[in-house]
Amino acid sequence: MRMKLRSILPAILFITILHNGKGYAQDSDFIFKARVAVFAPLYLDSAFEASGNYKPGNTFPRYINPGLDFYEGVQLALDSLAGEKIPLEVFVFDTRAAGKTLKQQLEEAALDSVQLIIGYVATTGELQQIAYSAQEMKVPFVNVNLPNDGGVYENPYLVLLNATLKTHVEAIYRYLQKYYPLDDLVVFRKKGQLENMIYSYFEEAGKTTPGVPLKLKFVELTDSFSVDQISARLDSNHHSVCISGSLDENFTKRLAQQLALLSNQYPLTLIGMPTFENFAPVLTGREYKDLESVYSTSYYNDRTDTVTKKIISWYNTKFFSQPSDLLMKGYEATWHFVNLLLKYKTDFASNISNKEFNIFRELNIQPVLNKKTMSLDYFENKKIFFIRMQSGVVKEVN
């Protein structure tokens, strides 16, 4: 389902936002028109009538929200770019359209001669399909949300903005080297395939990261582990750093609860994997006030910059609520990569790592090499932020 921009939802109010960018002078003999494809699960056929009105029902289905939030962010960024009168054509594809398959939509994007694909995907299968089509078209595909490569290799046109688990573990290892090189470092884990993967990433980081290798202790726990099993690994006379070596949220929650009970008796810090942020707000509660917690994330926006404030103000006035992180990611990806496309034109793919148009956060897009073939697998945003929480205070750790 291909749509002209603005045809799928009521037009979003145009807002003018000043960026530290410059206009784009066009060659007198050739006017470059940027063509961009946007893929997102919008569920328009099941949720909206042909007129654009929402189909009558009891409640607005939550599964629609992520795709619409992402699209709204894209639309806002394009509205901002429209103020510069730039030749730009955008095609929006609903990956949940009833009438066409994703394969057919990608074929349409190829016929439209798009030069950039920006997408929010729901599955690794979608990531693979779009990535391989982008490779055939020889155009970059920027994925804003999936934190893994989806099994895609030797594809220099795939760009992952949400860092992979391996990148997070490598960053956590360097963080421990920087702040806690002499502390007791205990990785609490459970049985599982992902946990084994995290273990192997820590082991590899110890061999490849510059500096003195860390002395990590790995402790395997059952799902019903007790506070005594945790305290047996702690020293009341020495600071301990407890790392949750699992992506299981229930496991990490339980670990945080047990450590909170011990935080008055033992000097300690809890460090969590990226899934930690899903329940991080809970850790600002009074029962956790003495527990210092840190987690890694590839997206952090303290919402104090001028652009974000204007978006928040507009969104609050329009919808009486705060814009989601996914909306901000849609805005960021569109602004950043469309500007790169407009500036570098046919040399766009060679400048995909350029940081010139960073906006809410720093993007550090780096090539990921296949160690066996030494070929380029894909590009990935390697910038990792660390967020510290204690006594209800949340802040970034530099």
User: How far apart, in whole angstroms, are the C-alpha atoms of residue 329 and residue 398?
Assistant: 22
User: How far apart, in whole angstroms, are the C-alpha atoms of residue 326 and residue 332?
Assistant: 10
Task: Answer yes or no: is pLDDT of 3 > 60.
Answer: no
- What pLDDT is stored for residue 17 in this prediction? 29
Residues 161-220 have pLDDT tens digits of 999 999 999 999 999 999 999 999 999 999 999 999 999 999 999 999 999 999 999 999
The pair phi, psi for residue 50, each rounded to 5°, is -60, -25
Location of structure tokens 């070596």:
245
Q: Report, as an integer, the average pLDDT of 314-331.
A: 94
- What pLDDT is stored for residue 51 in this prediction? 61
- What pLDDT is stored for residue 59 in this prediction? 62
Q: How confident is the model at residue 26 (pLDDT cuts 50, 70, 90)?
A: very low
User: How far apart, in whole angstroms, are the C-alpha atoms of residue 159 and residue 134?
Assistant: 11
Residues 83-138 have pLDDT tens digits of 777 788 999 999 999 889 999 999 999 999 999 999 999 999 999 999 999 999 99
Residues 242-293 have pLDDT tens digits of 999 999 999 999 999 999 999 999 999 999 999 988 888 888 788 888 899 9
User: How far is residue 100 from each of residues 45, 105, 115, 353, measured CA to CA in Å?
Assistant: 11, 7, 22, 33
User: How far apart, in whole angstroms, are the C-alpha atoms of residue 245 and residue 216?
Assistant: 11
Q: Report, as an integer, the average pLDDT of 25-50.
A: 74
- What pLDDT is stored for residue 22 in this prediction? 35
Length of the chain, in residues? 398
- What pLDDT is stored for residue 50 in this prediction? 62
Q: How confident is the model at residue 374 (pLDDT cuts 50, 70, 90)?
A: confident
User: How far apart, in whole angstroms, are the C-alpha atoms of residue 262 and residue 254?
Assistant: 13
| Exposure b/e, 332-348, CB count within 10 A at least 16 = b | bbbbbbbbbbbbeeeeb
In the chain, the domains with their CATH numbers are 2-163+303-363 (3.40.50.2300), 165-297+386-397 (3.40.50.2300)
Q: What does pTM read for this prediction? A: 0.89
- What pLDDT is stored for residue 23 in this prediction? 36
- What pLDDT is stored for residue 25 in this prediction? 39
Task: Answer yes or no: is pLDDT of 19 > 50.
Answer: no
Q: Are residues 134 and 157 in contact, defined by beta-carbon separation less than 8 angstroms? A: yes
Q: Which residues contact 210 (CB under 8 A, 6 or more apart)?
A: none
- What pLDDT is stored for residue 21 in this prediction? 32
